[in-house]
Structure 1
Amino acid sequence: MIDVNRRLLGLAFTHPFLMHASLAVALTYDRHLNKSINCHRSLEECYHWSQSTTLLNKRLREPIEAGDKDPIWGTAAALAILSFSSPDACTPEESWPMKPSAPSDLDWLRMSKGKNSLWHIVDPLRPDSLFHVMTETFAMMFSPLPENGIKGISSALATICLLGESSTAENNPYFYAAHAISRILDIPDSEISTGNTQIFILSINGGFEDLLRAKDPVALLLLYLWYRKAGRSIWWIELRARVECTSIFLYLQKYHQMNPAVREFLPGGRALAAH
């Protein structure tokens, strides 16, 4: 990543959309380091983010040349990070899912899917791409999940997700998400990486995404477990987890406190203690 970032910095001087994205990410990272400052995005952060988005959208309406592919992918990745790391609320009580539902809920997920839609256009794994060195990371991100069964999933998690040996993604909407989160729950924090955390993000689609938007308690619980694990190691995940992870906890505690299976995964519960 050090080599990738150094080469991206060089490209930023000839691609303004990447330069603005890089500056916005740098300012966001400063916000992460100084936890005592106002949680809202700074004006400078918003300016560079907006400029990058406008310039990238303009560039994508034109023919894509070979020299633009890496800057476009780097910018798209930066914009996805910016979207995820910038929750609109400063307190758990004002954050999703505690706040009333709105069309903007899970906007960061739309940005993540938008970035991935560029994959076949820019092909970051092509031999001459500066991202080619991240082949193993991408392979981890897109590594296939099981087609059926509950191997690797704890009995408590399988029970609350209603998963069994005959379960598949077709007959259980939690199937992929449960397998994805199970891949990282027992990994030491020092080994958590972008590659293994993104498996869960990629599993948020179809029926599971619908359940998450509807604030289904099991879907929220899976996202909560992911925040608790991934947020300890990835700075831009931690920025959102500060408020949204706690908001999920408060929501489950307020509206589903009578569900003993859910309580087992919240602080003090045996299922959470096992991880």
Structure 2
Amino acid sequence: MQTLFQLPVPVAAFVFVAATLVLALSAYGLTRAILCRSGEAKSDLAGPIFTRVGALHALILALVFAQELINVRDISTASAREAVLVGDAFYDLKRYDPEETLPIRKDLAGYVRLVLEQEWDSLAEADILSPEAWAAWERAYVGALELEPATDRQNVLKGIVVDHLREVSGLRRLRENAAIANVQDLFMMAAVAGLVLTSAGLFTHAPNTHNIFLLSIFAAYTGLIVFFVVAFANPYHAPGMVMPTGFENLFMGELAELGR
């Protein structure tokens, strides 16, 4: 599947649409060939059953598609929130004491660099977080815990930094879970079964130009929806990839200099 998504998006979408067209027309043609050998089939149940099967098929596609869009939105929000927390912790450490917290700020800057250079690729290829990024976060977190405030101001800043870095850990887990929670095989089975059964249920209608055209529209649109669901299933893969924009905007100036 990932090999397919290495193609340009229009080409990959065309492959999905072509596959669903072939599947739908084959199911329709095969069912008609088997059940309509002696003239045109007549069935009062054809309309109601087709409507119900088609509705169930559309409902399944809509629910899964909506879930994947929510997943992409949540990861985009979590990534932006994580970048904000890291940036706030970095500059609060500088307010705490520029010299004493320099090693911790270097670890945070290195963490941002690792997220950009390693972790997004690691999540896309292996569905795991970068061990090096985890190590950089751990060093920064331990360093923040070991700070010994000498004033009330430093005490408040330490608490804020520690809370921010703890929340970063949770947001990292959310990003990893999104990569692991990929499209299930059961959904693909339901999508294919719904397409086949709905197309086969139209065997009572003659294969004239209008009917074949309408069946093709149904199959093509189903193929596009399945394509979008699979594309958004892993938010770290193109074409539905969530970009680490927050980290890219953060990794500039002083932070970029310390992270190299």
| TM-score strictly above 0.5 | no
Relative to the length of structure 1, the TM-score reads 0.25
Higher helix share: 2
Relative to the length of structure 2, the TM-score reads 0.26
